[in-house]
Amino acid sequence: MQKQPDKKTVQGEIEKALRKLNITSHLRHAGRTDRGVHALNQVVAFDAPSFWDIHKLRVSLNNILSPYIYVKKIVKTDDTFNPRLDARKRSYRYLLSGRFSPHSADYVTYYDKNIDYPRLQQALNLLIGPHDFKYFAKTGSEVNHYLREIYRAEIYTYKYLSVIKIEGNGFLRGQIRIIVDFMLKINENILSIEDLKAQLNGTLISKHLAPPNGLYLERVWY
C-alpha cells in the first residue's frame, strides 16, 4: 500500500491518478498492507476541490487506475477524518487451498495438508480478548504498545477454500501472518496449543510470517 521510491504501490498509483486530474493531495490510508497482500475494502482519504462531482471523480479515477485498483465509492467527510486513527475495528481473512492453480497462486496460499478444524478453532479461541501481541508483530514495529483486542477469530470452509477470519480493534505489522503461520504449525503438530498460550503470555516460541498472497484486509469500521 504505502508509497516507496521507484516502486509501484497502491498509494503511489492513486496519487499519480489524482495528479492527472489536477488534484495534488497526499493520500492517507487505513492500513499499510505489505507487498503481495490484498485489500477488499481499503479506506483512503484525500482533499479535492469542491467543484468535483463525486460520481464523476470516481469514474475518472477508475478509468485511470484500471484494472488493478478499483474505487468502489467516494463520500465527503469532515476535515478531521483520519482513516487509520478513526477506525473502530478491522477484519482480515486468510485464504488457503489444497488445490493448486497458477491462476490463483497470487491470491490464495496453497496448503496441501489436512486441516484439523476443531483443533485450530480451539487455538483461535485463545486469541479472543485483549492480549499483549508483542511476539506476534514484525520486528521493528514502531508502536507505543502491543495491546490489541480480538473480537472474533474463526476458521471455516467456503467452497474449496479454508478461511481464517480475525476481527479486532487494531492489528500490528505482520500480526495476522504470524498468527496464521502459528496456526498451521499447530495443525502440523510442530507447535502445540500450549505453545500458543506461552507466547501470548510473553514467551517467544515462533515468529514467522505466513505467505502474503492469502491475506486480505476485509473491512474497516468507523
Active site residues per annotation:
34
CA 176 to chain CA mean position, Å: 8
When computed from its CA atoms, the radius of gyration of the chain, rounded to whole angstroms, is: 19
Nearest CA-CA partner of 191 in 97, 132, 123: 123
Beta-strand relationship, 161-168 and 147-158:
antiparallel
Cis peptide before 67 (omega within 30 of 0): yes
Closest C-alpha to 200, from 150, 164, 163, 152? 150
